[in-house]
Structure 1
Amino acid sequence: MTRRKNELQGAELDVIEKTLTSEILPFDKAMTIFIKDAKRKALREFTIKYYLRECNDFRNYLAREEHSLIINEVLRRHIDEFIEDMQQRRHLQTVTINTKLRAIRTLFNFLYDRKFISENPMQKYPLLKDRKANISTFSNKQLRQLFNAPNMRTFTGQRDYTFMLLLLDTGIRLNEAAGILVEDVKLSEGSLFIRNTKNHFHRYVPITAKTKAQLSRYLKLRGTCETDHLFVTIDETALTRAGLQKVIPKYGKLAGIKGVRCSAHTIRHTFAKLAIMNGAGIFEVQKILGHSSMEMVRVYVNLFSSEVAEKHKGFSPLNNFDF
């Protein structure tokens, strides 16, 4: 009789791994552990709220459909059914569904990596394929209408004009603008320090003479406040991200701008378009916009590069025909 080896190997280890590392974990407790870890990593408050919102949306779906709320019992088919529900009952757009899937994937990847679950239903789960929609931007006429809308004889008008000018000059994100402190404005250096970034990599962005002059005027009007934030309310409190988010829609409506979404992100797209059309290189655009990869920058180049249009004039097959 052959004596078996006492040390477990291969598939035998897989058998006990599931038993030793997994526990019965309710969805809510899993979320508490996940969010606690996110806070420990000092993720942005906006990011944490995003995880809470989207993961709890999935949790509420499971409860409504009377599926188990034990995180270990969530299966891949539950994800499939959740997607079908979002598409057929809620009629959500593909980009919205993918936003939710990214949050759920992050949750389950965390739980699997920390061995709270032995099976990961989101492992290699593909996002929905979405046709790249045309990126909307402001025309030069619409920009003039937008920037002429604030009442420059009021503090809020000067503040909002400064905010919009800063967005157009630098292409920074809304959340980045909300995090700017007075000390981040480097007028003598002609730059702006961006601390509240999406990828946690702080960066400096250049500002033009026109923006420097407007920032100088605004800082004199702003004066000294208890908050260090650059953009403040008339009560001298920090203007929140939600408050800044309302600025461009407000003036877009006042200016009667139609056919384009009036938002900070549209100004960001407009910055990218104008920068590329004016000859900015892809690495310059990537650095200023703070993209961690070249994917979005390539989209901008493909859409807005005037060089593509000029080259097309030379190689178009129609050049060889006289209709």
Structure 2
Amino acid sequence: MQQKTIRKFKRGQTNRTVKRVIEDLTLDDMYEKFILVKQTEALAPRTIADYHTNYRFFKVYINEMNPTVEEITLDLFRGFIGHMLNEKGLSPVTANVRIRTMRAFIRFCYLEGYIETPIHEHFKPVKTTEDTLESFTPTEIKSLLSSIDDELYTGFRDKVIVLVLLDTMVRVSELIAIKRENVDLKGGFIKLEAAFTKTRKSRTVPLSSKTIKLLNEYVKETDDFEDEFLFLTYDGQPITAATVRWNLTQYGKAAGITNKRVSPHTFRHTGALFYIMNGGDPFSLQKILGHSHMNMVRKYIQMSDTDVRRQHNSFSPLNSIFNK
């Protein structure tokens, strides 16, 4: 007589058990599972922190409630979007950052089988007008540099930071993570480690001769700190992104630049624009910026009307006819 090695369950018994467990899940339970999975994807700490921040905004909107699976409806998320746009007065760009986080979370819940309806397909980012990214003029950059007292250590450091931001077009998170060992002044480049880039891929950014000269002085100036990071405070601690942003804002005020934001990202836009206007090609620019897609590069090199007129005057088709 054949022995039974596998017990037969009544049809549907296992499914009912699983369904019961799923129904007992709350929004917070599912979010914890979502974050655990995201952490296994080796995302940057900043990305995980952004997930937490945007989830908190949603929790505040629902008055810290922790709804069950059955209580999670499309109306909750539509109401959240309306709240951000109409009551909080957020810009569509800011609202979309939070909307995308919640869509990614709810999509995860649907694919994992925690919720039965693909709610994420029915609330989407709102339409936005195409932003014209701000850039500095050469005159504004010179005024900003003139406002920095480079007789002081912090001033000299900040002047070097401005040139590195403009020359390499690195993000501020990448800037503060630069290690001394990754700066090759003889080769004329800086290696950005994968752990500190937004794309999680290492890349090399070139340096111009002027930046190399100032960086060489700065490296010698900071030798006695004996720290692995390049940019340091006056007492030898790694500088933070917040400090870089605050310092640039103050220099911008001193230089009288009030019509645009003086920030690390504005230098990134400016560097990209000047690179193209000085004859650089978009493909090498894409590699320097660290973008995977050319559409982001196109966004970075938006020109003002004045820039377009200047370029047209230099490269007008009529120049070929009348031998300018």
Give the secondary structure class of the aligned counterpart of 2:303. Answer: helix
Partner of 1:5: none
Match for 1:174 among 172, 181, 188? 172
Return the letter of the residue paired with 1:172.
Answer: V
Match for 1:165 among 142, 159, 163? 163
Partner of 2:138: 140
Partner of 1:199: 199
Distance 1:222 1:124, change over 3 A: farther
Q: How many residues are aligned here?
A: 301
Return the letter of the residue paired with 2:286.
Answer: Q
Distance 1:77 1:284, change over 3 A: same
Segment drifting more, 239-248 vs 155-164: 239-248
- Preserved contact between residue 146 and residue 251 of structure 1 (Cα < 8 Å): yes
Distance 1:272 1:71, change over 3 A: farther
Q: In structure 2, how many angstroms separate the alpha carbons of the residues matched to 1:71 and 1:283?
A: 47
Return the letter of the residue paired with 1:244.
Answer: V
Partner of 1:263: 263
Distance 1:310 1:103, change over 3 A: farther
Return the letter of the residue paired with 1:54.
Answer: N
Return the letter of the residue paired with 1:287.
Answer: K
Partner of 2:48: 48
Q: In structure 2, how many angstroms separate the alpha carbons of the residues matched to 1:178 and 1:131?
A: 32
TM-score by length of 1: 0.84
Segment drifting more, 291-300 vs 148-157: 291-300
Q: In structure 1, how many angstroms separate the alpha carbons of the residues matched to 2:247 and 2:290?
A: 23
Distance 1:300 1:42, change over 3 A: closer
Partner of 2:221: 221
Distance 1:150 1:72, change over 3 A: farther
Offset from partner CA, 1:119-169 (integer Å, 9 cap, x none): 332136431111112221111111001111221111111111111110000
User: Where does the alignment leave 5 or more consecutive residues of structure 2 unmatched?
Assistant: 1-11, 319-324
Q: Percent identity?
A: 31
Distance 1:311 1:73, change over 3 A: farther
Q: 1:84 aligned to 2:82?
A: yes
User: Where does the alignment leave 5 or more consecutive residues of structure 1 unmatched?
Assistant: 1-11, 316-323
TM-score by length of 2: 0.84
Q: In structure 1, how many angstroms separate the alpha carbons of the residues matched to 2:290 and 2:36?
A: 27
Return the letter of the residue paired with 1:143.
Answer: I
Q: In structure 2, how many angstroms separate the alpha carbons of the residues matched to 1:129 and 1:311?
A: 37
Alpha-carbon RMSD: 2.8
The runs of at least 4 consecutive aligned structure 1 residues that moved more than 4 Å come to 15-18, 304-308, 310-315
Distance 1:38 1:141, change over 3 A: same
- Preserved contact between residue 176 and residue 241 of structure 2 (Cα < 8 Å): yes
Q: 1:74 aligned to 2:72?
A: yes
Give the secondary structure class of the aligned counterpart of 1:257. Answer: coil
Return the letter of the residue paired with 2:312.
Answer: A
Match for 1:309 among 308, 312, 323? 312
